[in-house]
Structures are given as structure tokens and as C-alpha cells.
Amino acid sequence: MAGTTVTSTDGVTAGAWDAARRDFGDAARWFASVVADAGAGDPWARPGLGEWDVRALVGHTTRALLTVESYLALPADRVEVASTAAYYVATRAVAAGPDVAQRGRDAGAALGEDPVAAVAAVAARVPPLLDPTDGTEVVTTVAGGMRLSDYLPTRTFELVVHTLDLAAAVGLDAQPPPGPAAAAFRLVGALAAADGRAGALLLASTGRAGLPEGFTVL
């Protein structure tokens, strides 16, 4: 978006990276637990989100884990996307395209006959892959080279938001763990500030006004 500015994250402290990894792991486990609760009702063909059924929504959300696994094997030579917020600015056009919807359907189909077990396996496998990392690694993403410390919060955000989508689709009352929830709010705040929408979000969040129709930071 024209006029959007983002800030760079130059340093990665051990404490901040430990927290980011913990938030990602907590979000992954929460996602798997909500999928397990949802799966008891055999919801896979029910409406999920937009043109996705529940299976495709779960498949798309699983990609928040699988891309971490795949990108760890794709080092980049330089940083091209300077921050977590910049990733969403850079991928807005891609996110609105038809390929995202099809990848969700394909990922849903790849879950096989037992989506609950498939999600549980991925959620258990991927977070430990981050144990040897320190966050300074530069990986190749769909938006370009990024520090792992900047990319991982995008995956936590996707897990949190789409797990809430899943809970809403199947009628579950599910609240995200505090760490991942706070991480998601930090990104929402950064995006709102970058796009000049922080005022509306702050007023709504403090009970002073409702959000404008169609408001989104994405």
C-alpha cells in the first residue's frame, strides 16, 4: 500500500527468541487441540471460511506449520523483508489471489482420512525444529528473504486467527493461550500503525467507538 512504512528488526535477543518459539509452540498445540475437539463431530465438509470447507480451512492453517519446516531448509543470502509487518504488506496481493484458496484445498486433501491425527503429527514435529536456531537465520519466504525472528510471528498469527475461524465454524468456544494471543495483537497493532489505522483500532478497543464497516489490518 502506498505510504506504508515498516521498521526493521536488526537484533534478536535470546529472551525474545525463546518467547517467540514458545508462542509458536503454544499456538501449534492449541490448534491441534481445537482440531481434535472439532473432529469429534465429523465437520470436514461443513462451511469453514469463505470458499473453504472445514477440511480446507484446517489444511490452510496446517501450512502455518509446514512452511516453517520447508523454509528452514531454504536459506536466503540477504534480507529483503525487514519486519513481520512488512511481510503482510508485501503479500497482500498474493493473499487475495486464487492460488491461496487452491493451496488450502490441496492441503486439506493432503490431511488424508484422519485429519486430527495428521494435524497432531505436524504440530508435534515442527516446533522442535526451531530448537537449534537463534532467530538470526535468514530464510527464503514467498515474500523474499527474511530473518527467522521476523517470519515466525507471522506463523503464530496465522495459527491464532485461523484456529479462531475453525472454532467459529464448528461452534466451539475456544480462546487462544495468552502468549500467542499477545503476539497476534502486537502484529495487529503494528499493521494498524503502519497503515494509519491505529486511531480507529484504539478507540474501538477501549470502548469509545465501533470499528468502521469492513475494517481490517490485512
**Arithmetic mean of pLDDT, 44-56:** 97
Question: Considering the domain boundaries, does residue 23 fall inside one?
Answer: yes
Amino acid, single-letter form, for residue 60: H
Question: Considering the domain boundaries, does residue 7 fall inside one?
Answer: no
Do β-strands 138-141 and 144-147 pair in parallel, antiparallel, or remain unpaired? antiparallel
| Integer angstrom CA distances of residue 29 from 10, 22, 114, 137, 139 | 29, 11, 17, 24, 24
- Pick from 210, 192, 209, 200: nearest CA to 89: 192
Question: Considering the domain boundaries, does residue 3 fall inside one?
Answer: no
As a whole number of angstroms, the distance between CA 11 and CA 47 comes to 43
- Whether 1 shows a pLDDT value over 70: the answer reads no
Question: Considering the domain boundaries, does residue 22 fall inside one?
Answer: yes
Q: How many Cβ atoms from other residues are within 10 Å of residue 50's Cβ?
A: 10
- Pick from 80, 88, 86, 82: nearest CA to 161: 88
- Whether 72 shows a pLDDT value over 60: the answer reads yes
Question: Considering the domain boundaries, does residue 45 fall inside one?
Answer: yes
Burial of 216 (0-12, 13-18, 19+ CB in 10 A): exposed
Residue matched to cell numbers 490441496: 106
Question: Considering the domain boundaries, does residue 207 fall inside one?
Answer: no
**Arithmetic mean of pLDDT, 46-64:** 97
Which residues constitute the domain of residue 143?
Answer: 14-179
Of the pLDDT bands very low, low, confident and very high (cuts 50, 70, 90), residue 204 is: very high
- Whether 19 shows a pLDDT value over 60: the answer reads yes
What are the tens digits of pLDDT across the range 91-149? 987 777 778 899 999 999 999 999 999 999 999 999 999 999 999 999 999 999 999 99
**Arithmetic mean of pLDDT, 184-189:** 97
As a whole number of angstroms, the distance between CA 201 and CA 123 comes to 32
Q: Where are the alpha helices (DSSP H) in the chain?
A: 14-39, 54-72, 84-90, 92-95, 98-110, 115-125, 148-170, 178-194, 198-205
| Number of domain units in the chain | 1
Do 133 and 123 touch, CB atoms closer than 8 A?
no
Give residue 4's pLDDT: 45
CATH code at position 107: 1.20.120
Do 25 and 72 touch, CB atoms closer than 8 A?
no
Give residue 98's pLDDT: 78
Question: Considering the domain boundaries, does residue 191 fall inside one?
Answer: no
Helices 54-72 and 115-125 sit at what angle, rounded to 10 degrees? 20
What are the tens digits of pLDDT across the range 149-171? 999 999 999 999 999 999 999 99
Question: Considering the domain boundaries, does residue 205 fall inside one?
Answer: no
Give residue 9's pLDDT: 47
Regarding pTM above 0.85, the answer is yes
Helices 115-125 and 14-39 sit at what angle, rounded to 10 degrees? 170
Of the pLDDT bands very low, low, confident and very high (cuts 50, 70, 90), residue 10 is: low
Lowest mean pLDDT among 2-11, 30-39, 46-55, 197-206: 2-11
